[in-house]
């Protein structure tokens, strides 16, 4: 059993990369991917811990994509940590986050929620500061009773403290991953809010531009969605990947490797990803 979608303290997870690998080992996972948002900063610690615990480590990243509606994320597997081209792209995205965060702070203060970036950064010890960290700071200050309330009342899309940030196109995201030696995979297609016909056309276009896989097995995918995405993977010759999207205490109902309890991801997917990477190199 494996998990190809997890987050650490380097983005919006609650466990350090080392703690994450320890949790994977205790859960009986044979392989784990670290896919922090817009950063590879945790990968060295992650791979070191994988060696210590005997877990196959897959270095990865998750990049948000600019789309007119819904949410699209692109996962990159077996990336070359420290690759100059990829790191420059991720640095630009993180700078966009910083610009957005300043705007959110200003909006919250105008709304009577007095916060500083120091208050928010206290919940983000590493590379990336995101809206979940704002939500935690707001709970601590007593502005909202829960993180869910923070998003529902202030931080969610269309809410009064929401601010857009820099995102790349799907093509640019995939190119950055490919140039960084990685395998681009479409994450949780259910969040794209597309019907079957539109999703199929979207996947067709992405495949023509370099997509290599699609995240079929995911904590929040129901049986019908899994069947639909399996069919897309088969039709377009994509690797059908899977992961829990584990964040630790940020979403304690999701277990590493098991999602809400019934997630099972086959070990063979790791080898399929390796084959795609090697094929691209030849």
Q: pLDDT (tens digit, 9 = 90+) per residue, 66-92?
A: 988 889 999 999 999 877 889 999 999
Residue 140 belongs to what domain range? 97-155
Residue 215 and residue 75 in contact, taking contact as beta carbons nearer than 8 Å: yes
Per the domain annotation, does 240 fall within a domain? Answer: yes
Mean pLDDT calculated for residue range 36-60? 96
Among 155, 178, 203, give the residue marking a domain's end: 155
State which H helix or E strand residue 184 sits in: strand 183-186
> Does residue 129 share a domain with residue 222?
no
> Does residue 80 share a domain with residue 26?
yes
Per the domain annotation, does 122 fall within a domain? Answer: yes
> Does residue 261 share a domain with residue 212?
yes
> Does residue 277 share a domain with residue 213?
yes
Query: Is 280 or 210 the better-scoring residue by pLDDT?
Result: 210
> Does residue 185 share a domain with residue 222?
yes
Confidence band of 280 (pLDDT split at 50, 70, 90):
low
Residue 169 and residue 205 in contact, taking contact as beta carbons nearer than 8 Å: no
Indicate which CATH number applies to the domain containing 256.
Answer: 3.20.20.140
> Does residue 139 share a domain with residue 23?
no
CB environment 118-132: b (16+ within 10 A), e (fewer): ebbeebbebbbbbbb
> Does residue 50 share a domain with residue 174?
yes
pLDDT value of position 279: 65
Per the domain annotation, does 161 fall within a domain? Answer: no
Per the domain annotation, does 80 fall within a domain? Answer: yes
CA atoms within 13 A on the CB side of 268: 2
Degrees, nearest 5: CA angle 260-266-267: 120
Q: What is the mean pLDDT of the chain?
A: 92
> Does residue 250 share a domain with residue 148?
no
* Cα(42)–Cα(126) distance, integer angstroms: 9
> Does residue 263 share a domain with residue 142?
no
Per the domain annotation, does 31 fall within a domain? Answer: yes
């Amino acid at each position: 059993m494996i998990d190809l979608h997890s987050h650490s303290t380097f983005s919006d997870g609650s466990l350090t990369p080392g703690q994450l690998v320890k949790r994977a080992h205790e859960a009986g996972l044979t392989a784990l991917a670290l896919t922090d948002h817009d950063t590879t900063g945790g990968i060295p610690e992650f791979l070191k811990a994988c060696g210590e615990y005997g877990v196959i480590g897959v270095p990865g990243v998750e990049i948000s994509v600019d789309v007119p509606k819904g949410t699209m994320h692109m996962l990159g597997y077996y990336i070359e940590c420290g690759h100059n081209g990829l790191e420059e792209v991720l640095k630009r995205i993180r700078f966009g986050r910083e610009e957005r965060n300043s705007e959110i702070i200003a909006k919250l203060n105008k709304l009577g929620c007095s916060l500083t970036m120091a208050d928010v950064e206290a919940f983000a010890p590493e590379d990336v500061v995101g809206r979940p960290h704002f939500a935690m700071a707001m709970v601590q200050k007593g502005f909202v009773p829960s993180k869910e309330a923070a998003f529902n009342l202030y931080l969610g899309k269309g809410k009064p403290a929401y601010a857009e940030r820099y995102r790349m196109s799907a093509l640019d995201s995939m190119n950055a991953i490919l140039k960084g030696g990685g395998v681009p995979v479409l994450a949780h297609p259910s969040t794209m809010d597309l019907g079957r016909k539109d999703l199929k056309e979207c996947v067709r276009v992405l495949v023509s531009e370099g997509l290599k896989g699609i995240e079929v097995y995911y904590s929040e995918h129901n049986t019908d969605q899994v069947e639909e995405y399996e069919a897309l993977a088969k039709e377009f010759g994509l690797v059908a990947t899977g992961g829990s999207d584990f964040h630790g205490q940020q979403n304690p109902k999701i277990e590493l490797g098991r999602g809400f309890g019934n997630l099972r991801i086959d070990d063979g997917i790791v080898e399929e990803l390796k084959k795609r990477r090697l094929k691209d190199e030849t």
